[in-house]
Every structure is written in C-alpha cells, then in structure tokens.
Structure 1
Amino acid sequence: MDRPNAAYIEKLPADTVLARAARPVLAEMAAEIESEPVSLILTDATGTVLQRYTGDRELAVTLDCVDLAPGFRYAESEVGTNGIGTALEVGAPLLIRGDEHYNGLLRKFSCAGALVTHPVTGTLLGVVDLTTLERNTNTLLLSFAKLAASRIKDRILAETDELDRALLRDYHAACQRSSRPVIAVGDEVLMMNARTQQKFDSRDQAAIIDRTRDSRGRTEAFTTLADLPSGITARLSYQPTFVAGRLAGGIVRVREQVAKAHTLDVGRPLALHSIVGSSAQWRHTVRGVVDVCTRREWLVLDGEPGVGKTALLRAAHTHVRDGHDFAVLDAATLDAVELLEQVATALDVGSDVAVVHAHVLRNDDLSALSELLQTVRLDSPSDEPWVVLSMHVSHGVSDTHPILRLFPKTIIVPPLRHHLEDIPELVTHFLGIAAEGKVSMSTAASNQLMRMSWRGNIAHLRTVLDEIGRRRRSGVIEPQDLPPECHATTRRTLTQLEALERDAVVDALALHGGDKAAAARSLGMSRATIYRKIRDFGVVF
C-alpha cells in the first residue's frame, strides 16, 4: 500500500453509550500525558475514530497525514495491520511496533489498542488506542490503553446502574399506583409484576413480551393494541423513562381490552380464499375482520408493511359480500386528487371502498377524505357501503386525527414474528404457488425459518419462497438450500454492505461444508474475522 485507504464517515454518532462514558475519562487521562508525544484515540466497534487527544503538535500533524483522525475508519481490511484494526480482528489488546505495520507510511508509528466492551452484555463497543512515533515505543503504551479501557467500562457500569435505578423506580411507582399488569423494559432489563403472570398464561405472556420489546428505544409515549393467542385483546400503554435527557427504558401498563368470555369464537377456522394460518392469534384477527365486514362497520386495519392487510381485506370481502363491487385504492400510488375522485366515484355507484396505505397521505389530504366520507355518512341510504382505511398508524397518522372518528373499530394485523407457528402452513401455500406443488420443505428447514424475525413480514417470506421456487423445482428443501439471509438470525436491520458480507460468509460456509477455517481462507479473511462475523450476523450453519 502506498498510503492508508481509510474510509471517511461524515456523520459520527455523538450520543452513544461509549462516547458519553469515554469523554470525561479520556479528557482526564489525556491531561496526564499532555506533555508527552503520544496521542490518545477512541474508536467505535468498526474502527472509526470518534475522539483524538494529542498534546504534541508535531505528532498531530503527522497523524493527520495518514488520516488517523476523527471520522476515518482504521479497520484492518482497509489500512492493514495496526493497533486499532488488528485488536478488533483478534479480539484482544495488543501492541503493534513500527516494523509490524503492513502499510509503509504507518511504520513510523507504534500503537497499542485495548478493546472496550460493555460491562453487562459483553458487547464490543470500540477500542482505546495510544499511538506514538516508533522511536518512542514503550511497553507502557499497552498498559495505559488497557487502564483507559477499564475506566471507561467502569463509567459505563455506573451510568447503566443509574439508568436501571431510574427505570426500577418508575416500575415500582407504577405497580404501587395500579393493581393492573405492569412491565418494565430497558436495553438489558425486562421485569413484569406478579399481576401480569397471574392474568395471562404463558403463551399470552410471551406475546406481550415480544410486543413490548418492539418499544425499546422509543422516546415518545404511545398506546397500541395486541391480539394475544388466547383471543384476548390487550391495550399496551408505554411511557418512557429519562435520566438527564438519556432514555433509560420505559414502563408498559397492560389492560385487557376484550375479556376472554366475550371474544369471538376462534375455535373454528374460517376458510378464506388465499388466507393461510391456524394460530389462535391469526384466526382471531381474520374472524374479527370478517365480523366487521358482515356488519358493514367502518374499519381501520392497522399493521406493519407486509403483514397481509390488503390480502385479508379482499378475502374477507369476497367471503362476506361476494359479487358486490369492492374498490381497493392505493394512496401510495395515486395522486391525492385522483384518489379522492376515485373514492367519490366508487361510493356514488354503491361500491365498497378500501383506501390502502392511507398513512402516506398528508394531513390536509386526510382532512379532505374525511369531509368526503362524512358527507357519505350523512347522505347515504340505508344500504351503507363498507369503508376501510388500511394503514400503519405509528408511521404517519396521528391517533387524534378527525378522520379516525368516522371509524368505530380498529383491528391490528399482527406481524409475522408474533405468530411464527403459522410459517409451516404459509410455506406450503406459497411453495405450492411458486413451484406448483412439486417442492416441499423439510422440518429442519422450516424450523430455521421460524428462528428469523421476518421484519418484512409475510411479504418478505413470500419473496424468499418465490426465489427458492425459481431455483428448486422439485424435491425437498433442506436447510442448506435456503438463501444466505435465512441462515442469519440477527434481530437488527443490516445495511446493504452488511447483508452482502453476511451472504458471502454463508456461501463460503456452504461451499466448504461448514469448515470455518477453509471458508475464511476462501474469503481472504482471518479466522478471527469470520468467527466475529458469524457471531455478529447470528449465522446458523
């Protein structure tokens, strides 16, 4: 290499757990070595420099010449062997002397890197690095870096304790003020009171906890409904807890919205065309939509993208009002004026109407739609049309918007991760379409699909199965036949680059029969790197 090829990241995160804890620690320790020709550097877990303290002006200029400065990423894959990137690769503190650097321009430096991990979870957060000119190399560099990393961990632990204490305080207060079920949720904390355990069986508790986890990181209060496996509808009210502007977590109060004795009969599954699933929660949702359609009660159908809202509406309408016109109009593809015109035209001829993706409409367009529907309500004959808004309420529409007053009922379609037990039936159904019934899936492969979070919901599952059907036109699908993304169980959303890395790792493992060393060699990476990526991506092989 002629010079380091460190990528530059324009926007660095300013308010992370690592940055907050490290700032006072490194400032204090930098003051201790202010007169020394040493630079104290903090990076994140990718090797991107977040902070740099350098008292020696000559050294600062020299570091700038090799881009060892805030915003630049010193990963081993980009600049070769160095105290930051190599420490990340091997997962241990180390000292890199000048002649050990791969890059010629870096051989004038010696550097010591020590990992900073979260004291509670063990998650890798970043690296503390001390860099000096090669002539000043001293084994104390590594000792000082390890001391700085240890102090940062202590500071994180103190902050974590403070946040957890605040969350615990609000949890106890909520339990004392109410006899209802209460749950506390934080980054590493999940607590539920005895009332929650008494009120809900184990399956309902699991569904509530799963839905509660979705609130992690939310900084605003909100209320949502959760249809539980038993048929109960629970109202979950979330209130965040803050400490000096920092989010500690939140308190979720749970209230039973529909008593079990009064829920719809979910024991007999309804046979709706193209609608698949036999879990209690899914049957409860389907029957609820059919029941509302039967009564022609205006409905808001809420749910994440890809959960099957439009398919469910079409199937329920066909089941209940077969032969009656049903105009399904997409707010995401129609101009607002055109949408209103088509809604008016459909209602004029007595058609039932569904406006899907209504959450993308601006407030003034929603108000215009509200006025139009209000007129229909006042002027329509006794044979009132069925009107539905399909939306994702938390992504655009305020729950106080006047249009919602026209719709007495809201049903939430659960995300696929809340009824994973329906995946085998969905797989059979979609493979039957994609491969004309000539392909089946083994139990092991189906179980692997049930380990995924499916953030794209049923639409995502269908896309995956369609792709499998194009590649495999007969026989039994085994785990190794699944696409790379199905071998990763990480819950976080991957960037495009991370997804490409994950696919490359899975393909290499498949090619070499799961041999991690051989897979690493074929990818040109170290064994430490492939083990880290397998762990980070949750690769199962």
Structure 2
Amino acid sequence: MTSRATRDAWERFQSGAVATARAEILDSWRRSKSNGVDPERLELVHTEIDYESPFVRVGAPVLLGMADLLVGNSTSLALADADGTVTWRWDSDRTVGRELDRVDFGPGSRVGESLAGTNGIGITTKTNRLSLVVGAEHYKQPWHSWACVAAPVVHPVTRRVAGTVNVACRAEDANHLLLVVVRSLVDGVASALSAASTAREKRMLDAHLSFRATATGPVVTIDRQTMIIEDSAAEFGLDRAELWSVVAEAGPSATEVAVGDGLHARLYPVVPGRLDDGVVLVIRRGKSRGLAPSTAAPAVSLGPLEQAELKVITETLAECGGNKTEVAARLGISRGTLYHRLRRYRLA
C-alpha cells in the first residue's frame, strides 16, 4: 500500500469504517482499540530500567558494532526487554535522536502493544515474531512519520525471548534492507548471549534437554538466577524466585516437592547431591508419591546425563507400578532397550 492509502485506511479504521491493511496490522489495530489505546496522543507509561541487565550488557556492543555502517543514514537502533520497555537506544545523528525524543521513544518508555498500540516492538512482544510497521500503520498518529522493524532474540540457554532488537528510520526511507539488518543483529546478539553463557548454564541446558526427551510431564530446570521452562509448563504460572525458595528449603536430598495448587515435582539435581548447579523438575498434577522400593538408585558412579536417564526410568517405573510394557511405551523405547537400561542401572 502507498503511504496515502495507508493513511486513508488508518483514518477509516479510527472512524469505525471498514479498512484495508495488512492482516498483521489490522489485527494489531483491533487489539490496540480493544485495549483503549489513544490513537491521537502519546501518553506513554515510563519506568526505571536496568542499564546493566544481561540483555543490554551483551546486546548493546553487538548493535554498536554495526553502528558505523549506519552513520549518516538517519537510523536508530534500540533494545527492548521481554515486556516491551525500551532499555537502550543509539542514534545515527543528533537530529534523529531529538526527533525520537519528541515522540517519546527512548529508554524507559513502555511501548508494548497493550500500552502503546501498533508499533514494531509492540507487535513483536505480542507475537514473538519479526514485524515491520511503516508510517500510518502505527496506531498512534505521532509515530506516523517513522518506520520500524523489530524481531525477538531467543536466549540460547533458557529458550525464552530475552528481548527485542529494533531498527527505526523515517518512513520515507523504509525499505526491505531493514529486515536484513535486523535479522543480522538478532543473530549477532543470540551468538553473544551463547558465548556469555557459563559452563554451569550449559550443563543445565544439557540436563534439561535430556529429561525433556523422555520425561512424562512438563520439565523445568532452575537455579538461583535462571529458569528454563517448556511451553507445556508455562500454563502453571511458576515464579522462578518462589520455585527456587521451595527447592532450596527442601534440600538436595529431597525427591519431590509441592510447587503449587495440586502440582508436585520430582527433583533431579544436575550434579547429584548439590543444588547450586541447578535442579531439573518434572511436574505433574496429583498427590505426592514416592519411588517404589525396587527403583532405588544403583550404587554405581554415573555422569549427569546418565543420572538424568536413570531418574526418568525410576520415576516412570513408579508411575506404572513396575509394568515394564507400559514403561517402555511411555518412554518410546522397545522392551529390549528398557531391559538393557534396567540391567545397566541395576534395576532388574
């Protein structure tokens, strides 16, 4: 659509008439209207930000590495946290910076879709997908002279969205090269986050992936600072700090804890006998139940991944009442493979 056609569509939508626009934009306009966002005035919410957050600390140098190529192009680069708050911004020249300040797009501005309407960061925060918003596609009229491309950065350890990268320019300068730039920046930030991950975090991820492959319930892996959580466990609304407090109080010798209303979790330390290196939790609904006597851990030295496999097998044995056929079916392995594992871990 041309800029004039987009402006006409925006005006028709605001008047309640049928409007034609890209599906992504129309959906966002409808959500913005439903949320009561004012299309004429900025009225943004502001908040304190942490300039030393891991995402800013790692992401800002990556964006600055490309900044030299953008000087003179009337471009702005920004980072936003997972909630859509701008946490860092770089401008190619002072004029761009002053103009963005006038439209209240800067560190501390909360530009999530529910608060600021349709914009690049807002759509990306809502959908976890790359988004392009040009001119009057923005829900707020003061932003109609701008174009922005935003894309989420997925943390390589937690596999959750760590934040958003945003590239902005004047609407008349927008082109699809912006998509190439933002994708390159996202890849760079993700690689930098991976390089900054500690050996302990990588061990947690290895254990988490091992349990996820065979566990019969949602898997969460946690330590004092990090929580790796699957989408299947997101519905439980688990809070990392509260969950860690429960685990720490139970201690490294605990095998099961209550983690919520009607929820229990089997505990598998990444390093047996220690909590500081992280704990894998396999969550299920129902009453607490212990392991069957026949599934006690073997008196052999096992590595972290072997410990993970052993714990899954013993848990499933308990849940199936020792029925080997059902255990093999749940684990997705043959009975022969299961018996081999039982002998290896001295469970048979």
Give the TM-score normalised by structure 2.
0.50
Higher Cα radius of gyration:
1
Give the TM-score normalised by structure 1.
0.33
